[in-house]
Amino acid sequence: MAAPIPALRDISALLPADVVELDPGIVASRACDLSHFTPGGTPVMVLAPRTTAEVSACLTVAHRHGLAVVPRGAGTGLSGGANAPDGSVVVSLHRMNKILEINTIERLAVAQPGVVTGLLRERVAESGLYYPPDPGSVDSCTIGGNVATNAGGMCCLKYGVTGDYVLGLEVVLADGRVTRVGRRTVKGVAGYDLTRLFVGSEGTLGVITEITLRLLPRARVPSTLVAPFDTLEAAGNAVVALGCAGLRLSMLEIMDRTTVQAVEALTRMGLTDIAALLVIQSDEPDAEEILGEASAICSSCDATETFASTDPAEADLLLAARRNAFPALERLGDPMLDDVAVPRSSVASLIAEVQRIASVYKLRIGVFGHAGEGNLHPTIIYDHADAASRKAAVSAFGDITAAALALGGTVTGEHGVGRLKTAWLARESDAVALALHRAVKSTFDPRGTLNPGNVITAE
């Protein structure tokens, strides 16, 4: 699809030549994220600005010519949020990759959206501080994408999600205007909280060009406990009991039998044939005592055994089982990763229902995730080359998402709605909430050109 000549002429007048990319191969490589079964098309060009002023010029021209704009980070998303429709312009923020400030007095960092999250965490740690959010793709995803999706990770139980650390933003609106929202101070309640509106908006309200983040003092090295169970019910009881005990845990993860078997095949860690495995951490000063209580609780809920370690290297080995969950399942076939959240008391019920769904569709589905927050990632293994297998995977995906809603949960815990779950958002929300979503979208983007089809659709 050829780029509109008038738009190209305007862009060429405003921007350096290397900002504009028209090569069909490169444009195609920036047209979608890592999701499956999400709609996408062919964009007409990719724009790669280096500054906020250049982003503003990109959006000004697109607005003038009525072109849809899709902001893009690293493309690691799993919900189709970076999928570009036909005739759109992709604004890739990968060149905006500078950490502008790390302030140890105010405990904040200022970064451009293209900074890789893992690198930001490393640089902050070198300054004696801590940026907690730790998404699964931490070594490749970018902080801008994390903010746009309000990404989580394995430490959310204690530390929360990305949005809990966003103090302020610089944003370019659909028509090219630039605004700053939020603050640099510890406290601030002036006006509506526009910052929170942009966090998790998935590029539908504006393009984020600068992020001010709250930092914490350096965290202690965590201690780790693993507990295997012979039944899902026992593991679920342990999750509930650990929550009721009020222990100061920083992590409470779960893997089901299918996932454990896949991890064992990949790592040869000596994991036995068990129904579920809990991985627990605490980074409190009295972590050893806390994990002792956690171990006693797991044992009282019929854990077959427990093993704890305060040695960092040994703890990393124990945590490796959980970190290898998705890579291990990927080796079994084409993976379709879901993201749902249920009340913690329903974690075992959802896993059991997933196992039933797997049996119905004759698919392998592994479940792992953040049991402490009820956020699970059922991963459907199918054969993308086989039409029947693809159809079964899509049906199973829908049944799992419906099961989460039926258990009082939500259709996405951390991956975002994107294009994958727009219909599910409509199913989860009532008519008034949907009307408010559309009113917010219309206020920030009256022409509907920012990431159209993402999150909320027109009536």
Strand partners, 258: none
For residues 166 and 182, the answer to whether their CB atoms sit within 8 Å is yes
436 domain-assigned: no
The stretches of 231-370 forming alpha helices (DSSP H) are: 232-245, 257-267, 287-300, 312-323, 325-330, 347-361
Three-state DSSP at 242 gives helix
pLDDT in tens, the chain (459 residues): 666 778 888 888 888 989 999 999 999 999 999 998 998 999 999 999 999 999 999 999 999 999 999 999 999 999 999 999 999 999 999 999 999 999 999 999 999 999 999 999 999 999 999 999 999 889 999 999 999 999 998 889 999 999 999 999 999 999 999 999 999 999 999 999 999 999 999 999 999 999 999 999 998 989 999 999 999 999 999 999 999 999 999 999 999 999 999 999 998 887 878 999 999 999 999 999 999 999 999 999 999 999 999 888 888 888 888 888 999 999 999 999 999 999 999 999 999 999 999 999 999 999 999 999 999 999 999 999 999 999 999 999 999 999 999 999 999 999 999 999 999 999 999 999 999 999 999 999 999 999 999 998 876
212 with 225, same domain: the answer is: no
What Rg do the C-alpha atoms of the chain give, in angstroms?
23
206 with 273, same domain: the answer is: no
Report d(CA 161, CA 153) in Å as an integer. Answer: 7
H or E element, residue 144:
helix 143-149
211 with 110, same domain: the answer is: yes
450 domain-assigned: no
Final residue before a domain boundary, out of 261, 288, 315? 315
In total, how many domains does the chain have? 4
Report d(CA 368, CA 252) in Å as an integer. Answer: 11
Q: Distance of CA 322 to CAs 265, 318, 344, Å? A: 14, 8, 19
Domain containing 309: what range? 220-315
Report d(CA 19, CA 48) in Å as an integer. Answer: 5
H or E element, residue 56:
helix 52-65
352 with 287, same domain: the answer is: no
The DSSP output letter for 165 is: G
Final residue before a domain boundary, out of 315, 347, 365? 315
283 with 367, same domain: the answer is: no
H or E element, residue 20:
strand 20-21
Report d(CA 456, CA 204) in Å as an integer. Answer: 9
